[in-house]
Amino acid sequence: MYKIGIIGERDSVLGFMALGFSVHEAQNASEAENILHSLVKSGEYAVIYVVENYASELEDEIAKYKDLPLPAITVIPGVMGSSGYGMANIKTAVERAVGADIIFKDN
């Protein structure tokens, strides 16, 4: 059975342990990058969540895995809230999959 992992700073990720996620604390983006590579390499993860502030710094590294069937790497807001980076990634992924922008934003 595949696992679900999350990478981020302590305050952002510890609560996910109660949901059964494999929690990986990172002190900085470099450490988060090393953790990401080891989780992908293990082949044990179906989904890996990365907190926005690290994901924005690891954009090129995350892009290396976007065409792999597993794991799905998804960006989520951290404890400080959303910067909009995660939603922009979802919008780009939907446009790539569907061929058009189908995400509508209420004003």
In-domain check, residue 74 = yes
- pLDDT for the residue 59: 92
- pLDDT for the residue 35: 98
Q: What is the CATH number of the domain that holds 34?
A: 3.40.50.10580
- pLDDT for the residue 100: 72
Residue length, the chain? Answer: 107
- pLDDT for the residue 7: 97
User: What are the residues whose beta carbons fall under 8 Å from the beta carbon of 32, sequence distance 6 or more?
Assistant: 7, 8, 26, 50, 51, 54, 57, 58
pLDDT tens track, the chain, 107 positions: 999 999 999 999 999 999 999 999 999 999 999 999 999 999 999 999 999 999 989 999 999 998 899 999 989 887 776 666 666 666 666 676 677 776 666 55
- pLDDT for the residue 26: 96
Total domain count, the chain = 1
In-domain check, residue 69 = yes
In-domain check, residue 104 = no
Q: Which domain holds residue 58?
A: 3-82
In-domain check, residue 106 = no
- pLDDT for the residue 85: 64
